[in-house]
Chain A
Amino acid sequence: MKLYPKNFSTAVHNCNLSGISLSRYFLDIEIVLNETTEDEILRQMEKNLSVMEKAAAKGIAGVTSFSGLTGGDAKRLAAFRATGSPFGDSLYLEAMIQSLAVNEVNAAMGVICATPTAGSSGVLPGALLTMRDKLNLDRRAQLNFLITAGGTGALIGNQASISGAEGGCQAEVGSASAMTAAALVEAAGGSPSQSAHALAIALKNLLGLSCDPVASLVEVPCIKRNAVGVVNAIAAAEMALAGIESRIPVDEVIQAMGSIGRMMPMALRETALGGLAQTPTACRMTAMLQQEGHIPWPFPAAGRNED
C-alpha cells in the first residue's frame, strides 16, 4: 500500500533535496496517492476556499448558535476595531474577527469547511483571509496555503491525533494552529524548515489544552479558542520567519502531543464530565438548555463513554 510520508523531517528533507516547496511536495503526493490530477485537486480546494470566504462574511454580519448560547462576537469585535482599539489596530485583531466569524457560523449549523475539524474550523480561514492581501497572494498561492496546511495537518494526524475525543483540544485547535503556522511561513516566503519550526512552536504553545465544552456543545470555550489559535499561529510564524527555532524537533513535539492526549483523563476529552463543563455556571447553563429541550435529560450521564 502506498503510504503518506512518515513524519515532518522526511518531508523537509525531500523538499530540500528536490528544491521544492511543501505545497508542491504535498500536491505531488496527493496526485500519486489518490490517483487524481493537479487540476482536480485545485478545483476541489477552490470549492473549500469559497466556503471559508462565505462563512466568514456570514459570521461577521452576525449569527446566533443553534442552542442560543453563543453568537455575535465577531460582529462585536469588528465594531470595536472600527471605533479604534486602545491598543492600536493590528492584523491580529483582523484575524481574530475572521476566526470568530467562521466558528460562530459552525455553531449556528451554517456551512463551513472542517480544518481539520468543525470545532477548530475558524483558525485557518482567520489567518488566510487576513494575510492574503497583506502578502499579495494570488488565488493559486491561496490554494497552496490550503495544501500545505492539509499536508502538514495529516502529518500531525498520523503521528498524534486531530480528534478532541482522543487528544483533547490540543489535538483540534492545537493542530489547526500548528498547520496554519506552517502554511503562513510558506506564504510569506519562508523555507520548509522554517515551516517545521513554526508548526512545532505553535503546537508547543497549546500542548495540554483540554476539551471540556459546556453541555458538550461546540460553543463554549471552542469559539474563542479559535481566535487564540489564529493569534498563536501568526505569532509562531513570525518567530520562525525571524530565524527562531524550536529546541525540540517538530516530530517529537507532535508525538508529545499524542502522548499527552493518551494520558489525558476521559473527563477532559469531549465528554463534558470535567473542567469548564462541570463549573457551577456550566451546570446551570446545561440545566437551562435541558429545560428548553435543546438536550435530552439526563445529561451528562454518569459512565458515559468518550466523545
Chain B
Amino acid sequence: MAVFRSVFDIIGPVMVGPSSSHTAGAVRIGLAARSIFGEQPEEVDITLFGSFGHTYRGHGTDLALIGGLLGRSTDSEEIRHAHELAEKEGLKVNIKVSDRNVDHPNTAHVLMYSGDRSMSMTACSVGGGMINITQVDGFNVRVSFDNPTVLIFYRDRTGMIARVTRILADHTINVSSMQVSRKELGSTALMTIATDGVIPAAVMDEIRSIKELGPIISLSELMREPDHAANDVPGE
C-alpha cells in the first residue's frame, strides 16, 4: 500500500490526462529510463505488460512513455504528439505488447540503445502517478521513491559498500533502505541506497571521488517536481 507523506501526493501531480497510473506514471517511467541511461537514447524497444498492454492506446500510455524518454514532464501538452516528436528529435521507437504474466498489472520494460551502448529498465506504475523501478540493466532492484534514491554501479569487491556508507555516516545522512545486487562474484554490482533527505551535492562529489565506482545515478528529484526531473538528466 502506498504511503502518503505530503499534501502534494494528493494535490498533484500536474499532468496531462486521462489517467494518473496509465499516463502520468508512464511519463515518469520514461523519465526514469532516460535518467538511468544518462542521455536520450537513439533507439528504444518498449514492451508493455498487463493492463498497460491492453489499454495503452486509450490512455496514451505509449505517448506518455515516449514523452518521458524525450525528457518531457508529466504536464507537457506535447505528449499527445509524442510519436511525431520522437521522429523529429531522433528517437526510434519500437513498441510491442507481451502476454507474459508479470507481478504488477501496469508494467513496462524499456531497452535503450545508443551506438554500442545499451541498457534496460523495468518499472511499474502503482497508482496516483507513483512508480516503482524493479530492474536496472539486469539487476533486480526495488526503487519506490518514498525516499531520495541513488543507484551506484561498482566493481564487486570487499569494502566498497563500507566506503560509501562511511561517507554518508560522516555527514549524518541516515540510510532508510539499502540493497546490493550483483550478477556474479567479482563482476559489476549495483548498490541502491535510499536516504532520509536528499544527499547534498558536496557529499555526492565525495562519493564520486571513490575511484572504483562506476556510474552513479541520482533519482531523488524524479517524483515530485516533474519539470526538475527533466533538467536532472546528466550530460544535458
Contacts and interface: CB of A to CB of B under 8 A. Distances in A.
B2 interface: yes
A67 interface: yes
Contacts of A306: 51, 105
Contacts of B122: none
A122 to B, nearest CB: 11
Contacts of B24: 114, 118
Given A116-B10, A118-B18, A158 B59 contact: no
Nearest to B75: A111
Contact of A118 (B23, B55, B58, B79): B23
Contacts of B30: none
Interface string B1-18: 111111111111111111
A154 B59 contact: no
B197 interface: yes
Chain A interface SS verdict (over half): loop
B91 to A, nearest CB: 20
Interface residues of B, number: 47
Interface in A105-141: 105-119, 121, 124
Contacts of B16: 109-112
Interface in B49-108: 50-51, 53-60, 75, 77, 79-80, 97, 105-106
B146 to A, nearest CB: 9
B57 A45 contact: no
A301 B176 CA distance: 40
Interface in A19-54: 26, 30, 33-35, 41, 44-45, 47-48, 51
B140 interface: no
Contacts of A111: 14-16, 75, 77
B40 interface: no
A41 to B, nearest CB: 8
Nearest to B23: A118
A157 B10 contact: yes
B14 A299 contact: no
Nearest to B21: A307
B58 to A, nearest CB: 5
Interface of B: 1-21, 23-24, 50-51, 53-60, 75, 77, 79-80, 97, 105-106, 127-129, 176, 196-197, 225
> Which 3 residue pairs spanning A and B have beta carbons closest together?
A150-B7, A106-B17, A153-B10
17 contacts: A2-B196, A26-B7, A48-B12, A66-B17, A66-B60, A105-B17, A114-B14, A115-B11, A116-B10, A118-B19, A153-B10, A154-B10, A158-B4, A165-B105, A216-B58, A216-B59, A295-B55
